[in-house]
Amino acid sequence: MVIPYDGEADLKSQIQDLASEIHHTADLRNCVVHDLIMKNQASGQHWDGYRGGWQE
């Protein structure tokens, strides 16, 4: 998935919004998301939902 963004703050905001939407959708279907990791290939940072947010 490619997410266009304007700066690092915008990217982080969009990733947090996407993660929230994924968890909300799972909850509506009585499911649980155990592990959610998304990686920015350009910077190497990744969002790790299990560890609570952005990791270097």
Whether pLDDT at 30 is above 90: yes
pTM beyond 0.85, yes or no: no
Q: What is the mean pLDDT of the chain?
A: 85
Give the end-to-end CA distance of the chain in Å, rounded to a whole number.
20
State the average pLDDT over residues 21-45: 88
Whether pLDDT at 50 is above 80: no
Residue 17 pLDDT class (50, 70, 90 cuts): very high
Query: Among residues 2, 7, 13, which one has the least CA distance to residue 47?
Result: 13
Residue 22 pLDDT class (50, 70, 90 cuts): very high
Q: Are 26 and 32 in contact (CB under 8 A)?
A: yes
